[in-house]
A and B are shown apart, each in its own frame.
Chain A
Amino acid sequence: MSTAIWLLRREFWENRAIWMIPAVIGGCMILIALFGRVDLMSISAQVPRQAVGGGFLLAVGATFFVVMSVYSTWYLLDCLYADRKDRSVLFWKSMPISDTTTVLSKLATALVVIPAVYFAAADLTSLIMAFIVSVRSSSSIGGALWHADLWLQLQALWLYMIVTTALWYLPIAAYLLVVSAWARRAVMLWSILPPLALVLIERWFFDGHVIASKIGERLLGYPAQAFRDDPGSSSWVTTVVDDDAITTPASIWGFFNAGGFFSSADTWIGAAAGVALIACAVQLRTRRTEI
């Protein structure tokens, strides 16, 4: 157990970007809240405040999520390649740590630790921004952000997303680890070429698009798997503002599709493929010490 903790600390030492990038994003957002024109954010008094607050928190969270996706991809491609490139793998392998433990520590960093850091940063940023906006703005936006229930829902959403994205993107993450453990150079290129080649071969020689659509579904199908787009009428609130009916979500709870996600064959087929690819990455890590 303590080995696992030291391996995670090691990742923070090596990849300071894990916390520096969210710190910079958060800092920029706070600067905007400090010096931006908060009066633009003023809203009609009748729109449910919770919905406005929720929209704001989701917008902040989404920004962090997008950046995190890009960074995690880069991290996974780099993590088993960088130490072979600078030959420090020879030092790490002189420690009594199995290659399985090493590979799993990188996977856990990408799928759990990095998301947790980003979501914590999103929370902290939102809190500070909400405070600043409340103080600066005389309009109702400030007040809209202070709902304990809203924050609770947000934490539930982050937790749900960490678990479900980890499972859904396991095959992608494991594939990136395989490339990282295997490539002798140009990991980015090697991560794209094999799937691209498969897609093109399938299209040219078999006139099919099964592989392409499978890859597409895996990359983009997460929201449809994990969330309900129509959670039923009880989850919506309709308000009339200036003769327009505005429908807003009443809460986030109705949107979680945990039952559907965890009972979907796609989820578990992907996870099984992920486990196979992790085993493959461990084997490569054992056999390919140097570039």
Chain B
Amino acid sequence: MPALIEASDLTKKYGAHVALDRANFSVEAGRIVGLIGPNGAGKTTALRAILGLTAYEGQLKVLGHEPFRERTALMHDACFIADVAVLPGWLRVDHAIDFVAGVHPRFRRDRALALLAKADITGERRMRELSKGMKTQVHLALTMAIDAKLLVLDEPTLGLDILARRAFYDALVNDYMDETRTILITTHQVEEVENLLTDVLFIDKGRIVLDSSLDDIATRYAAVAVAADNLDAARAEKPFHERPMLGKVVLYYEQPNLTKLASLGEVHALNVADLFVAKLSGGAE
């Protein structure tokens, strides 16, 4: 089975600024992929290209379509929330449901209504009367009621309080995700999505710097905290990053010799946030 998203040499320039610089990546079906990068790294540009919202150079196939030329066809099988709170203020909740039901062949009204009932949002209110969290819930209900193969979320919880963020991710994982779906999500709050991702793509300065599953990260990377007297021995094992912590130094390794490291200090697995910081800040902090 071919990958759901396949990008090779994906490039996007805004004048002299290169937002995407020959990025290569692919996303397989059934995964929850986090596209993670610092501000201005090209996350949003990559998503806009995938969704057909912007022209680009290079090759890009999403669900077999060229997104920019075939956005309409692509939107039958893919849906997205490109930002929170973009539902227009004048739109009534019930009208929004009627509209999507009218124009989207894969929309399931009963599911949308069930999700809205759960969030306690009633039909005749206008979006401008709803709080930001409620508006996000409405948008999510509309989107999750579409039987799409690909769901793309760009900073979906930006500006939401902790309760709304938790509700958002709970709904995503419990009510939506199954083996027929694929989710691509960007965020700069890595900790928040870490537990639900199956794969991560790190992007920096328009380039993909890491493309890995979380299982791979667990087996492939390790960190060890060593005291000063073991530091030279630890450095000899070629760490790619180190940072001081509570009088010790934590060193990060790729494909480490675990038995050797265990003799030097306390070994632990890397979480995505650690790896992200390490990969993007280079050698030492």
Measured CB to CB, the residues of A under 8 A from B are 2-3, 5-7, 9-10, 13-14, 83, 86-91, 93-99, 286-287, 289
Measured CB to CB, the residues of B under 8 A from A are 48, 51, 53-55, 68, 71-73, 75-76, 79-83, 86-92, 95, 98-100, 102-105, 139, 143
Pick the contact of A90: B55, B75, B86, B91 (CB < 8 A).
B86
Pick the contact of A95: B68, B81, B104 (CB < 8 A).
B104
Residue pair A95, B103 in contact (C-beta under 8 Å)? yes
Residue pair A96, B87 in contact (C-beta under 8 Å)? no
The interface residues of chain B lying within 8 Å CB-to-CB of A6 are 98-99, 102-103
The interface residues of chain B lying within 8 Å CB-to-CB of A3 are 102-103
The interface residues of chain B lying within 8 Å CB-to-CB of A94 are 51, 75, 79-82, 143
The interface residues of chain B lying within 8 Å CB-to-CB of A5 are 102
A3 to B86, CA, bound (A): 21
Besides A93-B53, A94-B75, A94-B79, 12 new A-B residue pairs in contact (Cβ under 8 A), listed by A number: A6-B103, A13-B95, A86-B89, A90-B82, A90-B86, A91-B86, A95-B104, A96-B105, A97-B72, A98-B72, A99-B71, A289-B48
Q: Give the residue name and chain of the B residue nearest to A289 (CB).
A: B53
B54 to chain A, nearest CB (A): 7
A96 and B103 in contact, given A91-B139, A289-B54 (Cβ under 8 angstroms): yes
Q: Give the residue name and chain of the B residue nearest to A9 (CB).
A: B99
The interface residues of chain A lying within 8 Å CB-to-CB of B102 are 2-3, 5-6
Q: Which of A6, A7, A91 has the most chain B CB within a 10 Å cutoff?
A: A91
Pick the contact of A83: B79, B88, B99 (CB < 8 A).
B88
The interface residues of chain B lying within 8 Å CB-to-CB of A96 are 72-73, 75-76, 103-105
Residue pair A88, B86 in contact (C-beta under 8 Å)? yes
Main secondary structure of the interface of A (DSSP, over half): helix
The contact sample of 5 A-B pairs, CB cut-off 8 A, is A10-B99, A93-B53, A94-B51, A96-B104, A286-B68
The interface residues of chain B lying within 8 Å CB-to-CB of A93 are 51, 53, 71, 75
A99 to chain B, nearest CB (A): 8
Pick the contact of B88: A88, A99, A286, A287 (CB < 8 A).
A88
A13 to B100, CA, bound (A): 14
Residue pair A86, B72 in contact (C-beta under 8 Å)? no
Residue pair A13, B54 in contact (C-beta under 8 Å)? no
Residue pair B88, A86 in contact (C-beta under 8 Å)? yes
A97 to B92, CA, bound (A): 20
A14 to B92, CA, bound (A): 10
For the complex of A and B, the 3 pairs showing the least CB-CB separation, nearest first, are A88-B88, A6-B102, A96-B75
Q: Give the residue name and chain of the A residue nearest to B105 (CB).
A: A96
The interface residues of chain B lying within 8 Å CB-to-CB of A13 are 90-92, 95
Residue pair A287, B55 in contact (C-beta under 8 Å)? yes
B257 to chain A, nearest CB (A): 49
A274 to B80, CA, bound (A): 34
B73 to chain A, nearest CB (A): 7
Q: Give the residue name and chain of the B residue nearest to A12 (CB).
A: B95
A97 to B107, CA, bound (A): 14
A124 to B263, CA, bound (A): 92
Q: Which of A10, A96, A289 has the most chain B CB within a 10 Å cutoff?
A: A96
The interface residues of chain A lying within 8 Å CB-to-CB of B103 are 2-3, 6-7, 95-97
A11 to chain B, nearest CB (A): 11
A99 to B70, CA, bound (A): 11
The interface residues of chain B lying within 8 Å CB-to-CB of A14 are 88, 90-91
The interface residues of chain A lying within 8 Å CB-to-CB of B105 are 96
The interface residues of chain B lying within 8 Å CB-to-CB of A90 are 53, 82-83, 86
A88 and B53 in contact, given A10-B99, A93-B71 (Cβ under 8 angstroms): no
The interface residues of chain A lying within 8 Å CB-to-CB of B91 are 13-14, 88
Q: Give the residue name and chain of the B residue nearest to A13 (CB).
A: B95
A180 to B76, CA, bound (A): 27
The interface residues of chain B lying within 8 Å CB-to-CB of A91 are 86-88, 139
